[in-house]
Structure 1
Amino acid sequence: MLHIKRILIPLDFSPASVAAAEYALAFGKELEAEEIHLIHILVLGPANDLYTDVLDVQDPQHHLQNLPEEWQETWHRLQHQVESAGYAFVPGMLQSDSITTPLVKYAQTHQIDLVVMATHGRTGIAHRLLGSVADGLIEYAPCPVLTLRADLAEKSYRDVRKILVPLDFSERSAEALRVAREYAQRTDAGLTALNVIARTEHSDLPASPWEKAYNDKNPDVRQIHKLEAFIRYAGGPKVRLQTALMYGDPVEASQIYLEAYPQDLILMSTRGRSGDGLFHYGSTAEELVRRAPCPVLTFKQGDRIRFKHARKKTSIAEA
């Protein structure tokens, strides 16, 4: 099963980042996470996203005393919530003139299994940390990243019972589906495997995303068969799973589906094989992360994903 032991939560003390931290505590309990790494970055000069040296503050409590009193209260409250929930609390403060780089380095050196953060904040540093830095972590962090829009982060945590998995037939989306099945088995959630056919691929597609064709001469039936074969190839534990086929722009079609059938979580790969998947980050996936009406858990090529039990390899011929 999916094994999330260490969760990293970047904190800039904005309401969105605090709410994301509280969301992470509830999310982590479903996965039996053990450690919460709460990290604040002491920015030295103008923040930038260039490579920079990172200094690990050896005594976080000492530097905490130099922060505004309201921030200190927030830190201690979160620490109490972390420890009361049964997690090991690992505080950290980093000094750097960038934001993305130290978080990526920290995740690498501390073998972080999951990063949880909001996708945008208010203004100034908060906006920079929770906006472009979320993009940077999704692109460069060595592990999956769970992002929430700021307005969603500030709502109460809702148990994950419905999961949407966009599939583009890449190897990475196959792994995302397998991870989703592991998670769904653990939480008794239901899955929807969504595939979007771009209109440029077929000139005879229906005008409406909802219009269906039911004979084998039409592309949607062939695509459903292909989708079902891909699901068998991806493998994973047996869970409640249904397929969905939409037409048109991947983001717009996904939005239409999510409005009609609200989900608790989107779990997706952000790059296909060699970065050529439909949902590769920088285009479709980036827009979906920013506009999704629910939290988004993203994976990419090279992420460290740990399972408590080894997976039996399956070939496409065996699926």
Structure 2
Amino acid sequence: MFQRILLPTDGSEASSIAAEAAVSLADQFDAELHVIHVLEHDETSTDNVDSPTRYGEEAVQAAVELATSSGVEATRAVIEKRKSIHQEILTYTDEHSIDCIVMGTRGRSGLNRLLLGSVAEQTLRESPVPVMTVHEETVIDPDIGSILVPTDGSECAHTAVDHAGELARSVDATLHVIYVVETGQVINGNRVRKLREALEEIGEKALDLALDQVQSSTYLPTETSIVNGPPYIEIVRYAEEHDVDCIVMGTHGRKGIRRFLLGSVTERVIRRADVPVISVK
């Protein structure tokens, strides 16, 4: 499924966790690992031992050594920035046929680095390939045994379910598919009850569609569930309660409907989940 994985790094705690995730993923799929550091224009000096250039090289070296110790083949590169950092990441992705990017969501405090939210968000929005994100408190399981994918029946959710199903089959994992009914959209009363029932009926249809989708070829262990509450909270809670190792989410939902597949909710899940989140579109 993954043949070439890209790890942008700056040596921060978040990127160190990302390195663990990238190495584990590469090891599971016997994939090549590409480790890069993007230099700012003011980071090209190598006049002293504490220079940013040297720091970047050391960050890359640390990730490469981690890969080597796990028997993962790694390619390294320190790139001088000629355009925005996320564009450099995406250019490298295109030129080297990368099929997954793994990156942290925060970088070194006070520095405008690639692991800060703005660059991570831009990468997520524009990347043509799946992006796995982690943060400082993410727990990396070396073997993915269970995967969660939320759905709302939209085209974007269809893509996420397809990717999650393929991933689950590749690593022999159990797939969990959930639909979230957002209770905050309604108030008390009989009309509310009817609306909730209607939303749950839509959810059942969305889950049936997802189940048919992932079971269209060979059998895949799959669990489905409808949950009620704020979407990002329920997604994270479900992942915690069911010991999920990875969450797969779409970055857009149905137009005109404030659903959990919209960027704001995906972003909240990325920041709050204690497992890696793979975003697809």
In the alignment, which residue of structure 2 is the partner of 1:24? 22
In the alignment, which residue of structure 2 is the partner of 1:188? 172
Find the aligned partners of 1:282 and 1:222 in 2 and give their Cα distance.
22
Find the aligned partners of 1:110 and 1:204 in 2 and give their Cα distance.
53
In the alignment, which residue of structure 2 is the partner of 1:124? 110
In the alignment, which residue of structure 1 is the partner of 2:79? 94
In the alignment, which residue of structure 2 is the partner of 1:50? none
Cα-to-partner distance string for 1:96-155 (whole Å, 9 max, x where unaligned)? 263222112221222210000111134022766242221111111121000012221xx5
Find the aligned partners of 2:210 and 2:39 in 1 and give their Cα distance.
46
Q: Does 1:176 align with 2:160?
A: yes
Please tell me the residue identity of whatever aligns with 2:39.
L
Matches within 5 A, 1:62-73: 72-73=57-58
Matches within 5 A, 1:55-204: 72-96=57-81, 98-125=84-111, 129-152=115-138, 155=139, 157-199=141-183, 200=185, 203-204=192-193
Find the aligned partners of 2:29 and 2:8 in 1 and give their Cα distance.
19
Secondary structure (helix, strand or coil) at the match of 2:111 reads helix
Pick from 4, 7, 11 the counterpart of residue 6 of structure 1. Answer: 4
Q: Is the contact between residue 9 and residue 116 of structure 1 (CA under 8 Å) also seen in structure 2? A: yes
Cα-to-partner distance string for 1:257-300 (whole Å, 9 max, x where unaligned)? 23432311001211246797834443211211111121101101
Cα-to-partner distance string for 1:195-232 (whole Å, 9 max, x where unaligned)? 0122337721799xxxxxxxxx7753563244213421
Find the aligned partners of 1:255 and 1:82 in 2 and give their Cα distance.
29
Q: So what's the TM-score if we normalise by structure 1? A: 0.73
In the alignment, which residue of structure 2 is the partner of 1:313? none
Percent sequence identity over aligned pairs: 30
Find the aligned partners of 2:145 and 2:269 in 1 and give their Cα distance.
20
Q: Is the contact between residue 151 and residue 206 of structure 2 (CA under 8 Å) also seen in structure 1? A: no
Find the aligned partners of 1:197 and 1:218 in 2 and give their Cα distance.
10
Pick from 28, 32, 36 the counterpart of residue 33 of structure 2. Answer: 36
Q: Is the contact between residue 160 and residue 189 of structure 1 (CA under 8 Å) also seen in structure 2? A: yes
Find the aligned partners of 1:69 and 1:179 in 2 and give their Cα distance.
38
In the alignment, which residue of structure 1 is the partner of 2:223? 242
Q: Give the aligned CA root-mean-square deviation in angstroms.
A: 3.2
Gaps of 5+ in 1: 47-56, 58-63, 208-216, 301-319
In the alignment, which residue of structure 2 is the partner of 1:220? 200
Gaps of 5+ in 2: none
In the alignment, which residue of structure 2 is the partner of 1:282? 263
Q: 1:104 to 1:218 in 2, by over 3 A?
A: closer
Q: So what's the TM-score if we normalise by structure 2? A: 0.82
What is the total number of aligned residue pairs between the two structures?
Answer: 270
